A and B are shown apart, each in its own frame.
Chain A
Amino acid sequence: MTNSSKKRGLLTISFKLNQEDYTMEINSDERLLDLIRNRLGLIGTKESCGGGECGACTIIMNGLAVNSCIIPAARADGAEIITIEGLSKGMEDELHPLQKSFLEKGAVQCGYCTPGMLLSAKAFLDQNSGREVSREDIKEAISGNICRCTGYQKIVEAIYSYALERKGNN
């Protein structure tokens, strides 16, 4: 007789996600991506390769863009996390300027890579808030995020134009 639920260690973790506090019981082998998608129902974080090779599942954790498909949920203990749902809130809230820029510049086609792409861009720009960034910097920053539709050019432009605008506002 076999049983699908192998013995797994249960852990309790606490974290902040999109400004809200959570305490949850998790399995030690649970992926952070599954916690976000399946247990919290936040489907904006996508799975595409499941192996840390495409960036579709990118979230921001403690200020860094990371692939949630290869991070154990246990690592979220004490962490501060932002998912795409945290970039703007609800359907009434104003979009983050990066989201607006993606929309206006045509940086979105099918949209499957878009949440991950936006979060990689945001983490990168936040880390370089005092600095001028070039298109080459941007290309490097999003090089872990695969987009099969756009050929990247409009994505780079969308991020670059927001970076310029932000600098102008400072």
Chain B
Amino acid sequence: MNYTNLGKDTPILDGLEKVTGRARFVPDLKVEGMLYGKVLRSPYPHARLLKIDTSKAERVSGVKGIITGNNVSQHRFGTMVPDWVILPRDKVRFHGDEIAAVAANSEEAAAEAASLIKVEYEELPAVYDPELAMAEDAPQLYEDKENNIAVTFNVHTGNVDDALAKADLVFEETYETNQVYQAHMEPMGALVVPGDYERLIMWLSTQVPSMSRLRYAEALEMCSEDLRIIKPHVGGGFGAKFEYKSHILAAVLTRKTGLPVRMVNCREEDFRAGNPRVPMKIWVKLGLKKDGTLLAKDTKIIAGNGARTVYAPAITSTACYRIDSLYKFQNVRSTGYTVYTNTIPTSCFRGFGNAQMHFAMESALDTICHQNNLDPIEIRKLNGVTPGFTSIHGWEINSCALKECLEKATQESDWYEKKKEADQKGPVKKGIGVAICNHVSGNRPFYKPFDGSSSLVRLTPEGKAIVFTGEADIGQGMNTTFALIAAEAVGLNVKDVRTAAVDTDISPFGLGSFATRGTTIGGRAVYEAAINLKKQLIEHVARVYEKQAEEIKINNGKIYFAGNEEPLPVAEAMQQISYTLGGTSLVGHGVFVPNTVLPDENKYGNVSPAYPFACHIAEVEVDTETGKIRLLNYWAVHDVGRVLNKQTLEGQIEGGVMMGAGWVLGEDMVLKDGALVNPNFHDYCLPTAMDIPRGKIYSYFMESDDPNGPFGAKGIGEPSLNPVPAAIANAVFDAVGVRITDLPITPEKILAGLDI
């Protein structure tokens, strides 16, 4: 298939404003009379609120409004569990929990007033470890949540006990994944402006504009149509930028003062009260035949929810069972507890639980292969799902190039040669490790009421197309992908297409950027809208130019007729068409409702229209004297269905690999008595340019042409990270024979492992 716009390196269409510094993010937005919001946060991990005195704070000059639990509604709402209130009246549950919020005419005045709010606390016993929190005598966070369990997930399909009894090999291990921070470079923030008709206009740094509107309407007890959400440029999200308490506080302050309020986290707040990755303790038991055929998987997971529920229960269930559709399992059982602790509420972070479980599963397979002299590549080929396969949970694997990914990665990395390399002299040892992954492109159970997306594409009298979608570009290049899809589907050149910023007054509803759904679900809706537009365009060209619709073709911005007639530029035709239609634009409308199935009580369903796959191979060097690990090369082969934009795909992979590498090789949110001891980039070490592989991150793409994705495309955002922790951990083991089962893999752990 020859495409005009697809499969190339297309620089992002909003790059110009970014390289010139003109792109505006929430912290860059200012309106006349704007106030600055500041949140007062709890200095205790668990305490009863006895008294809040704001009298001194109110007298600070410039202060326009203060809200506390005493003067805001106490109704409960929430994302998955109704355990949120705007501000609490009874108690605080984590170090960083919101107690009050101030709006003042300068940042200094807001900060000073917040510091002058006097709160009397009665400290309560606290619990930080999810496993300990489940104990009978553990301090309880919510009266109605026994053993601090927010949600329990259970699945059992087949007969695990039987299968384990019959297995030749049974392997058991416990893995731990730690809490890490998304570290989006733009901190979370909002600007709320009072609108006409008593509406609120909210400029949000968010990945879910439409869903936020629904949730904030519930929080503010308003009609969602009275909230207008606008998403400017967003400086990264990676899962953190979902519904957020401070957005609501800014809105309440705006209603109270009648003035615009901007509330932006400082970095420390973003650390202390963001939505970090769900930490997990994962027990895995696997049964196999002698040849490596997987017979059964038994898992128990205890996951940290933090002090209130954001999306951790969905993340825990994902960790429990998504990987069951990577391999051809016959018997699986999983129990997952999402448990309250007096710590920062946890939530989505690239990989959404599947990343945590991949660390466990892919590490386990590596150990099994090592112990039983099995080939880690072959065992994955033997067990991996194949095109047309229906998984144990009913997931229909349409397109799947997993085997091809394994082959390509093995070949490009020279895997078998490197595995053969004899004993290495000197203190620095090289190693190589493999891991594979699956993921979704949209997740049916995430938002129960419905699945899908819709879009409008408008063709102006000048022949330019504008794509309207509610799906959010958060810096990953979605807007460019949408424009490419529309351009190709209509037959335009992408330089004549742009995607409008999300504005809920104008854009169709879009669930948002999560579950790697943008390209496949959002993109397919854009495709449908573009096809609808093309049909209209052809009909009007036929009418105005007196031609047969069947003989009209559109490509690269030109309209072709039968025979040798000169092609007509779309812009020229559109001008004529608009003259006959009162100057109108043509608007294509498209809807995509995927053929997914909401899982039933046995978790049987089909959660996504398309499943992406990948194989990663990491090559590392470990210094046995210092324990230091260095990435040498990295091969990432992805089944993306179809390459729409090679450059942004590579960008997602390189970013995902380094984000995963940062996690495995050192990132860690360290708590002491419930307080985060490293809430800054000095003590919380993110990868820098010095940490990228000494050689290269090599990206390759397999085009499996998915029947549901636009032009066959599947998602990339999260699969780029899922296999990274295990690929690196396995490479480290290959290098020095030290198996680390709890993240991060630090030099200290390596040295301790070498000592034994």
Contacts and interface: CB of A to CB of B under 8 A. Distances in A.
Interface of A: 1-5, 42-51, 53-54, 56, 83-85, 87-88, 91, 95, 99, 102-104, 106, 108-115, 118, 138-140, 142-156
Given A112-B185, A150-B654, A151-B657, A49 B681 contact: yes
Given A106-B651, A111-B475, A148-B236, A44 B61 contact: no
A154 B186 CA distance: 20
A118 B20 CA distance: 10
A3 B63 CA distance: 10
Contacts, number: 191
B421 interface: no
Contacts of B686: 146, 148
B177 to A, nearest CB: 19
Contacts of A3: 60-61
A148 B182 CA distance: 9
B11 A139 contact: no
State which size class the interface on B falls in: 35 or more
Nearest to A34: B107
Contacts of A145: 688-689
B11 A1 contact: no
A146 B680 contact: no
A150 B655 contact: yes
Interface stretch (B108-116, B400-408, B452-460): B108-116
- Give the most central of B20, B104, B474: most A CB within 10 Å: B20
Interface in B671-687: 680-682, 686-687
Contacts of A114: 18-19, 21
B395 to A, nearest CB: 30
A114 B236 CA distance: 12
11 contacts: A43-B24, A48-B235, A48-B267, A53-B680, A85-B21, A87-B20, A109-B477, A111-B17, A148-B182, A148-B185, A156-B692
Given A48-B185, A108-B19, 4 more contacts: A103-B16, A106-B11, A109-B655, A110-B186
A152 B689 contact: yes
Nearest to B20: A88
B19 A102 contact: yes
Contacts of A43: 21, 24, 28
Nearest to B264: A47
B647 interface: yes
B659 A151 contact: yes
B747 interface: no
B28 A109 contact: no
B234 interface: yes
Contacts of B59: 1-2
| Chain A binding surface, main DSSP class | loop
A115 B23 CA distance: 10
B655 A151 contact: yes
Contacts of B477: 109
Contacts of B234: 110
A138 B690 CA distance: 9
B654 A2 contact: no
Given A48-B186, A49-B267, A109 B475 contact: yes
Contacts of B62: 4
A18 B657 CA distance: 37
A154 B15 CA distance: 14
B696 interface: yes
Contacts of A5: 61, 108
Interface string B624-642: 0000000000000000000
B25 interface: yes
A42 B22 CA distance: 9
Interface in B473-518: 474-477
